[in-house]
Amino acid sequence: MTRVSFASHPYLLGFEQLDRLVERTAKSGNEGYPPYNIEQSGEGIYRITLAVAGFREEDLSVTIEDNQLVIRGRNTDDSEGRVFLHRGIATRQFQRAFVLAEGVEVATARLDCGLLHVDLVRHAPESVVRRIEITRDR
């Protein structure tokens, strides 16, 4: 069976990377932890908010890797010597990845009351018109 993708359309030249991005996003396996919101607060202004209760700033990392925003959390286990009758607050390590479009940059990342806010800004691309010379065969 031949795999058909939208990037194989004859009018879409050079969009193979977009196919790979869609495939990578589908395989990311985000199991739902930690929960998050994505908001748009203006034209080209976005905020990703992750619920990271129990994590400190030094337990979290925010990086850009191959046009992906990757947020990782690693919590040190400080429960030694403590006896839990019920343990319902998850503080396991996690990784969340978000594919960023061209021109989207991380403006800020801050931790506030157990919520990690990552603000993104999309800069409008400049319109470029380039004239191509037509040459004559001799």
Structural domain contains residue 37: yes
State pLDDT tens for residues 45-54: 999 999 998 8
Claim to verify: residue 54 and residue 111 sit in the same structural domain: yes
pTM, entire model: 0.71
Higher confidence at residue 17 or residue 87? Answer: 87
- Cβ-Cβ contacts under 8 Å for 129 (sequence gap 6 or more): none
Is residue 93 assigned to a domain? yes
Within a domain: 127: no
Kindly state the average pLDDT of the residues 114-128: 91
Percentage of residues of the chain with pLDDT beyond 70: 80
Q: Which residue has the higher pLDDT, 18 or 3?
A: 18
Same domain, 21 and 41: no
Both 41 and 103 in one domain: the answer is yes
Q: In this structure, are 61 and 105 located in the same domain?
A: yes
Q: State which residues form the domain around 47.
A: 32-122
pLDDT, tens only, 53-74:
889 999 999 999 988 999 999 9
Number of domains in the chain: 2
Burial 33-60 (b: 16+ CB within 10 A, else e): ebebeeeeeeeeebebbbebeebeeebb
Asked whether residue 71 is domain-assigned, the answer is yes
Position 80 in a domain: yes
Q: Quick count: other Cβ atoms within 10 Å of Cβ 133?
A: 4
Residues 13 and 45 in one domain: no
78 and 49 part of one domain: yes
Helix (H, G, I), strand (E, B) or coil at 7: helix
**Which CATH number does the domain housing residue 103 bear?**
2.60.40.790
**Domain assignment of residue 106, yes or no:** yes
Domain identity same for 40 and 24: no
From CA 63, how far away is CA 39, in angstroms rounded?
20
Same domain, 99 and 54: yes
